[in-house]
């Protein structure tokens, strides 16, 4: 029987409230990367380029490039290019990038080239979503080679149809960013959380003064900024590094990979009373109260805690009992003891969710 693995996203026991920086919780609206894409030609390959009979666009692109350089081929010329490959060039334009700065690019073969190693990308314009050219790319393509990590190890061949060119593109146009328009910005939380939005606005107001930040909804917080650009930049530098205590709990969620059987759960996952039967394994989980008495003549108080007892048996027909309010530790131990396959685990979780016993959102990827 195939085994699956349970990956814990959070600790079993609830941790005290932790502080996180605003820059880790939210981003400033409009301050983001922009994707660029372009089409180009890689030359100088060692016979590993496109097979032109199967990729006619490579020949068309090469012929058009020669015509722009004043080289006109006779009509009906059949080119058999082995050292040329048609590629797509992609890059991310960082926020506030200015003309003259360089960015890294990725070159990917779009034909049937065997390898881009040793090739040179000819000048290719990179365009944004608006069709405007924002950068020009050119340079030597770097592709991982063949190697072994230790003597006697089996050589591993890396992916040869994709390469990188560090600082391979030069920015030609800046993206307009209206930072602080009308002397205000909008902070957008990474995850929608009304409690966190209110806490974030409260933290900003406690540091900068009342009515500086206003929570508009569970995702957006509006912040008033100084009028001057230098003062605004200093203001944002301080704001991004403010610590916000995460006092609200996360939404209970379970993510399962149906192909590998991996399961990720956070500590908020809870179960109501339910029974699970699988194969010849049985797991009984019970909770007993443990009373701790203070020392004689001391000022201490009697403390009652719950101790979870887990008993695993091999007995056909037995049932896995999960007590009401079982926590994540109980769930993990019980599922591991069952030894279900990924398909069985998926069926179990779906059935528990349908029965209303699983108090969590179940997402399957």
Is the model's pLDDT at 218 over the cut of 80?
yes
Both 239 and 144 in a single domain?
Answer: no
Both 153 and 64 in a single domain?
Answer: yes
What mean pLDDT is predicted for residues 189-208? 90
Is the model's pLDDT at 155 over the cut of 60?
no
Give 36 or 332, the one with higher predicted confidence. Answer: 36
Last-in-domain residue among 195, 216, 245: 245
Both 274 and 333 in a single domain?
Answer: yes
- If one counts every other C-beta atom within 10 angstroms of the C-beta of residue 19, the result is 10
Give 311 or 173, the one with higher predicted confidence. Answer: 173
Q: What is the pLDDT, as a whole number, of residue 234?
A: 92
Q: Is residue 1 part of a domain?
A: no
Last-in-domain residue among 204, 222, 245: 245
Give 221 or 282, the one with higher predicted confidence. Answer: 221
Both 202 and 163 in a single domain?
Answer: no
Last-in-domain residue among 171, 188, 222: 171
Instruction: Write down the mean pLDDT value for the chain.
Output: 78
Q: What is the pLDDT, as a whole number, of residue 285?
A: 47
Q: What is the pLDDT, as a whole number, of residue 336?
A: 65
CATH of the domain at 196: 3.30.1360
Q: Is residue 151 part of a domain?
A: yes
Q: Is the dihedral of CA 202, 207, 211, 215 positive or negative?
A: negative
Identify the weakest region by mean pLDDT among 23-27, 185-189, 256-260: 256-260
Residue 288 lies in domain = 6-10+251-364
Give 338 or 62, the one with higher predicted confidence. Answer: 62
- Per residue in 100-147, pLDDT tens? 999 999 999 998 889 999 999 999 999 999 999 999 999 999 997 554
Both 321 and 340 in a single domain?
Answer: yes
Q: What is the pLDDT, as a whole number, of residue 152?
A: 53
Both 58 and 125 in a single domain?
Answer: yes
Q: What is the pLDDT, as a whole number, of residue 1?
A: 40
Vertex 22: Cα angle to 220 and 189 (nearest 5):
30
Both 182 and 206 in a single domain?
Answer: yes
Q: Is residue 286 part of a domain?
A: yes
Give 197 or 345, the one with higher predicted confidence. Answer: 197
Both 24 and 62 in a single domain?
Answer: no
Q: Is residue 314 part of a domain?
A: yes
Is the model's pLDDT at 272 over the cut of 60?
yes
Q: What is the pLDDT, as a whole number, of residue 309?
A: 47
SS3 annotation, the chain: CCCCCEEECCCCCCCCCCEEEHHHHEEECCCCCEEEEEEEEEECCCCCCCCCCCCHHHHHHHHHHHHHCCCCCCCCCCCCCCCCEEEEEEEEECCCCCCCCEEEEEEEECCCCCCCCCCEEEEEEEECCCCCEEEEEEEECECCCEECCCCCCCCEECCCCEEEEEEEEEECCCCCCCCCHHHEEEEEECCCCHHHHHHHHHHHHHHHCCCCEEECCCCEEEEECCCCHHHHHHHHHHHHCCEEECCCCCCCEEEECCCCCCEEECCCCEECCEEECECCEEEEEEEEEEEECCCCCCCCCCEEEEEEEEEEEECCCCCEEECCCECHHHHHHHHHHHCCCHHHHHHHHHHHHHCCCEECEEEEC
Percent of the chain past pLDDT 90, that is, above it, reads 35
5, 3, 7, 15: which is closest to 249 by C-alpha?
15
- If one counts every other C-beta atom within 10 angstroms of the C-beta of residue 242, the result is 18
Q: Predicted confidence band at 310 (pLDDT cuts at 50, 70, 90)?
A: very low
Both 196 and 237 in a single domain?
Answer: yes
Both 167 and 289 in a single domain?
Answer: no
As for how many domains the chain has, the answer is 3
Is the model's pLDDT at 344 over the cut of 80?
no
What mean pLDDT is predicted for residues 210-226? 93
């Amino acid at each position: 029987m195939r085994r699956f693995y349970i990956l814990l996203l959070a600790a079993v026991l609830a941790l005290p409230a932790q502080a996180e920086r605003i820059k880790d919780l939210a981003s400033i609206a409009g301050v983001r990367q922009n994707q660029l894409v372009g089409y180009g030609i890689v030359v100088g390959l060692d016979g590993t380029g496109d097979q032109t009979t199967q990729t006619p666009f490579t020949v068309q692109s090469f012929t058009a490039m020669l015509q722009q350089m004043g080289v006109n081929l006779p009509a009906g010329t059949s080119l058999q290019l082995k050292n040329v490959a048609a590629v797509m060039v992609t890059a991310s334009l960082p926020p506030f990038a200015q003309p003259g700065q360089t960015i890294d690019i990725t070159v990917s073969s779009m034909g049937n080239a065997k390898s881009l190693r040793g090739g040179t990308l000819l000048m290719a314009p990179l365009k944004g979503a608006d069709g405007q050219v924002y950068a020009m790319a050119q340079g030597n393509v770097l592709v991982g080679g063949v190697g072994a990590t230790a003597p006697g190890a089996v050589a591993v061949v890396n992916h040869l149809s994709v390469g990188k060119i560090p600082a391979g593109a030069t920015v030609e146009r800046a993206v307009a960013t209206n930072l602080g328009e009308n002397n205000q910005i909008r902070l957008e939380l990474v995850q929608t959380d009304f409690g966190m939005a209110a806490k974030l606005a409260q933290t900003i107001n406690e540091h900068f003064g009342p009515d500086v930040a206003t929570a508009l909804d569970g995702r957006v917080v509006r912040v008033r900024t100084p009028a001057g650009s230098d003062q605004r930049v200093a203001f944002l530098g301080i704001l991004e590094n403010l610590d916000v205590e995460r006092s609200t709990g996360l939404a209970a969620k379970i993510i399962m990979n149906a192909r590998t059987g991996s399961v990720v759960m956070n500590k908020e996952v809870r179960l109501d009373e339910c029974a699970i039967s699988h194969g010849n394994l049985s797991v009984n989980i019970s909770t007993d109260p443990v009373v701790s008495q203070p020392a004689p003549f001391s000022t201490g108080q009697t403390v009652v805690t719950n101790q979870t007892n887990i008993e695993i048996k091999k007995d056909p027909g037995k049932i896995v009992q999960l007590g009401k309010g079982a926590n994540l530790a109980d769930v993990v131990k019980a599922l591991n003891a069952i030894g279900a396959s990924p398909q069985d685990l998926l069926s179990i979780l779906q059935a528990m969710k349908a029965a209303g016993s699983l108090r969590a959102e179940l997402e399957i990827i």
